[in-house]
Amino acid sequence: MGDSDSVASLAVEALGLAKNYGPQVALDQVELSLGENERLAVLGPNGSGKTTLISVLSTAMRPSAGSLRIMGYDSTDAPNDVRRHIGVVAHRTYLYEELSARENLIFYGRLFGTSDLAVRADMLLDLVDIYARRHDQVGSLSRGMQQRVALARALVHDPAVLLLDEPDTGLDQEHLDLLASLVTGSKIPPRAVILTTHNLERALDLCHRVAVLAQGRLAYQADSASLDRTALLDAYRRLAGAAL
């Protein structure tokens, strides 16, 4: 396999990724790679850099140093190509509250030229169990319902990579199970996923690999199946000063 084939087979490749806010270091030499359909959970306390990592991966922020390629596209040279291949659920939903749930999906899908958009929007709203409220303004929906609309919106253009920043916020157990089915690909075609969470058990259940982010650094990475839980906890506590 040649170098170009190797790059193309990676859904996400970050090399020496850094992000500074003036003198403050938010990300420090982050290195990660993710194959197509592979799922990575990133654990870390508040302030560890998880949201900044998702913001840089989603091109919402430019890195201060390092390189990032998603589906073979460089995030600095071709950010629009990167955006076509990613779906993002941030800690905030960033939905248009004056629009209905259905209108939010249709508006977003039009940005990407999604075909059969009305049919796809209804299918996804049904998938996340919000179809009955599809014509309601998003501002009238509960936090958990809004998060389900945000999940549907992230999928509307059928992205190859999902970037999920604590997507379980406001979800009850029934809809946590729904989230799990979307992440693992049991209800939709599988895709690459990077999921940030505080929940170790959820990380192990949903993802092939687990990493600990502490003070902007990836302190620990391991496959879920062979993970040394004690080593993970030690790395987390040592570098984050917190307990899982």
CATH of the domain at 76: 3.40.50.300
Mean pLDDT, the chain, whole residue set: 88
Q: pLDDT value at position 225?
A: 76
pLDDT digits 0-9 by tens, 28-63: 999 999 999 999 999 888 888 999 999 999 999 999
**Which percentage of the chain shows pLDDT scores above 90?**
62
pLDDT average, residue stretch 54-82: 96
Residue 156 lies in a domain: no
Give the confidence band of 7 by pLDDT, cuts at 50, 70, 90. Answer: very low
Helices (H), 49-172: 50-57, 79-84, 101-111, 117-127, 143-155
Q: What is the pLDDT of residue 237?
A: 67
- Does 124 fall in a domain? no
Mean pLDDT, range 191-196, rounded to an integer: 95
Confidence class for position 3, pLDDT limits 50, 70, 90:
very low
Would you call 72 exposed, middle or buried from its count of C-beta atoms within 10 A (0-12, 13-18, 19+)? middle
A 10 A CB-CB count for 85 gives 19
Does any domain span residue 207?
Answer: yes
In a domain, 21, yes or no: yes
Task: Please tell me the predicted confidence (pLDDT) of residue 112.
Answer: 93
* 24 assigned to some structural domain: yes
Domain total of the chain: 1
User: Is 26 part of any domain?
Assistant: yes
Supply the range of the domain harboring residue 13: 1-85+161-167+192-244
Within-domain flag for 122: no
**Whether the model pTM is above 0.95:** no
Please state, for a pLDDT cut of 70, what percent of the chain lies above it: 93
In a domain, 222, yes or no: yes
**Predicted confidence (pLDDT) per residue in 157-181, tens digit:** 999 999 999 888 778 888 888 889 9
State the pLDDT at residue 238: 67
For the chain, the first-to-last Cα distance in angstroms comes to 41
